[in-house]
Amino acid sequence: MDYIPIIGLEVHLQPKTKTKMFSRTPAKYFGLPPNTNICPVTLGLPGAMPVPNKVAIEKCILLSLGLNCSINRKTKFDRKNYFYPDLPKGYQISQFDKPFGYNGFIEFDLKDDSKRIRIKRIHMEEDTGKSIHTKDSTLLDFNKAGVPLIEIVTEPDFTSSVEVDRFAKRLRQTVRYLKISDANMEKGQMRYELNISMRKTNSKRLPDYKVEVKNISSISVLQKIIQKEIVRQSELLKKGIKPNQETRGLRDNDGNTATQRIKEEADDYRYFPEPDIPPISIDKKIITKLSRKLIELPQNKKHRYMQDYNLEPDTAEILISNQYKASFFEKCIPSAEQTPVKIKNIAKWIVQDISKYCKINKIKFKNFNLDPIYLVNIVQLLEKKQITGAIAKKVLNESIENNSDPLKIIETKKLKIETNIDTIEKFVDEVISQNAQVVKDIEKNPNAIKFLVGQVMKISKGKANPQIATEILEKKLKI
């Protein structure tokens, strides 16, 4: 009997805000000395009154709109009761039955098709503090307590780790495009919770158990956990054993997990409406205002590039992976169309050489500074075969370094392809005299001609037209 995985995700995202979710204490906590960024609301001291953060709520609604959700315009906050040492109030302020966003979806591409994952809900809540476990005690740092959190819950629509990977990347791009968060996973700004079970291939019913893994802060680790869980659960099921309904804890970055807590029933958090925060109604004008901030999002951008510029899916995917990369590409288009040069070639240079340059030199695309016309000029000379590919790369690098005009670099350094037959003939003569043995053996070794052309290119510093060089060589050596 075969099984397929049924996977759902919960994503916790810290929106970028100046202050905490329910107090005006700064939301910054990274790298601060412990317990220096706290206040009575953070600590849940008696009488401290929470006041919701408008910016955080607007970001939650904007993300909901960006992920095609309906919006609950009459909503409220609720108390989610549970005890945890780094949850100072003994409850978390969250949302229960009226999340800001519900019934949305996100789309990404697989090999031959697009896939849509349904978003069940997007709600607003607050982060916990941090427990630091030492050898014989646990220390508590409440700086992070009360930092805004957006929680995105999907339906169990994933059936492979690849789908989860594509989703996670598309979501992270969307969040960055809309400037909701930097979504820096290393800083814990985006964390994943996974639930996974295995369903019989020929059954439509969801399995009657589910395994959860919490606090996953890397997309690659998330993938590894899924792959290991698929193997572990399938092996149990094939032996006729139903896997435990449990929460498993991550043991290492290879995706190994171990039982943490076996739970027979769903948790009961005894939710009730937060008595210290009045119900919220969201004016239609706010929705209109936020809707105007909805720029073209990654999936749409990708498909437009494929349609308008006939780009390969992989090329388009790399361009849209970073909105600043996409925006540089778009800035090149008007002059590329006017020149004209092939948009496909522009895309290729951005995806390959410029991306490589930025990676090697640790330049963020956000700070990448090259006049788009300069790239267009380089591609034009290459298309007209006035410079070689090798020279184009060198000139591009130099042009990026000083944001300088490639046409001037090429002129000053005399880098245009040499097509003058007399000049190339001089290079050829030099090569023949320096490689007497190769010339002697030319009949025995048919590849020798390629070697000699290579030598001509070398001494001409890549400028000789290789076709002309080959013709002159063949004539001189009577091949």
Interface contacts to Mn ion, rule CB under 5 A? 151
Element of type H or E holding 213? strand 211-216
Q: What residues does 6 pair with on adjacent strands? A: 197
The full 3-state SS of 347-398, as one line of letters, equals: HHHHHHHHHHHHHHCCCCHHHCCCCHHHHHHHHHHHHCCCCCHHHHHHHHHH
Which of 458, 475, 175 is closest to 297 using CA atoms? 175
Shortest CB 106 distance to Mn ion, Å? 19
Measured from the CB atom, the residue of 96 and 365 that comes closer to Mn ion is 96
Shortest CB 125 distance to Mn ion, Å? 5
Do the beta carbons of residue 75 and residue 279 sit within 8 Å?
yes
Shortest CB 12 distance to Mn ion, Å? 6
User: Which distant-in-sequence residues (6+ apart) come within 8 Å of 415 by Cβ?
Assistant: 387, 391, 394, 395, 409, 463
Shortest CB 94 distance to Mn ion, Å? 6
Measured from the CB atom, the residue of 94 and 161 that comes closer to Mn ion is 94
Measured from the CB atom, the residue of 93 and 382 that comes closer to Mn ion is 93
Do the beta carbons of residue 364 and residue 354 sit within 8 Å?
no
Token readout for 106 is 């996100």
Measured from the CB atom, the residue of 88 and 207 that comes closer to Mn ion is 88
Residue nearest to Mn ion (CB): 151
Is residue 240 left, alpha or beta, with left meaning phi > 0 and alpha meaning psi from -120 to 50?
A: left
Residue 202 buriedness (CB in 10 A; 0-12 / 13-18 / 19+): exposed
Measured from the CB atom, the residue of 180 and 375 that comes closer to Mn ion is 180
Measured from the CB atom, the residue of 213 and 409 that comes closer to Mn ion is 213
Measured from the CB atom, the residue of 192 and 427 that comes closer to Mn ion is 192
> Within 13 Å, how many C-alpha atoms sit on residue 281's CB side?
2
Which sign, positive or negative, has the C-alpha torsion 377, 381, 387, 393?
Answer: positive
Measured from the CB atom, the residue of 260 and 397 that comes closer to Mn ion is 260
Shortest CB 54 distance to Mn ion, Å? 21
Shortest CB 153 distance to Mn ion, Å? 9
Measured from the CB atom, the residue of 140 and 153 that comes closer to Mn ion is 153
Shortest CB 121 distance to Mn ion, Å? 11
- DSSP codes joined into one string, 154-184: E-S-B-SHHHHHHHHHHHHHHHHHTTS----
Shortest CB 10 distance to Mn ion, Å? 7
DSSP helix/strand/coil, 300: helix
What type of residue is 362?
Answer: K
Shortest CB 23 distance to Mn ion, Å? 19
Which of 173, 241, 229, 220 is closest to 196 using CA atoms? 229
DSSP helix/strand/coil, 431: helix
Do the beta carbons of residue 160 and residue 5 sit within 8 Å?
yes
Measured from the CB atom, the residue of 151 and 163 that comes closer to Mn ion is 151
C-alpha span between 37 and 130 (Å, rounded): 13
Shortest CB 88 distance to Mn ion, Å? 16
Which of 352, 269, 282 is closest to 84 using CA atoms? 269
Measured from the CB atom, the residue of 151 and 353 that comes closer to Mn ion is 151
Do the beta carbons of residue 274 and residue 80 sit within 8 Å?
no
- Measure Cα distances from 391 to 317, 374, 388, 395, 397 in Å: 28, 14, 5, 6, 10
